[in-house]
Amino acid sequence: MNFVWHILIGALAGFLAGQVWKGKGFGLVVNIIVGIVGGFIGGWLFGLLGIGTGGGLIGSLITAVVGALILLVVLNLLKK
């Protein structure tokens, strides 16, 4: 069940990152995939930096949104 929560939080994070990115994302479906991957990136990055978000729903969502935004920045740089 934990894996399902990661997927759902990542999907929501990708949607939110696409909204924050203000139209410079890759569309709804790809942004959701970016959010799922971004959740793993954010978790890895926050762990590497020693940043704790409390492990709750909001902390996980913040971590995933940050990771998704970082991934969107990298993907947009590669897209150019």
63 vs 41: CA distance, rounded Å: 9
9 vs 35: CA distance, rounded Å: 8
Structure-token match 């996980």, residue found: 60
Q: Please give the pLDDT value at position 1.
A: 57
Residue ranges of domains in the chain: 2-79
pTM: 0.80
Q: What is the pLDDT of residues 58-68, one digit of tens each?
A: 888 888 888 88
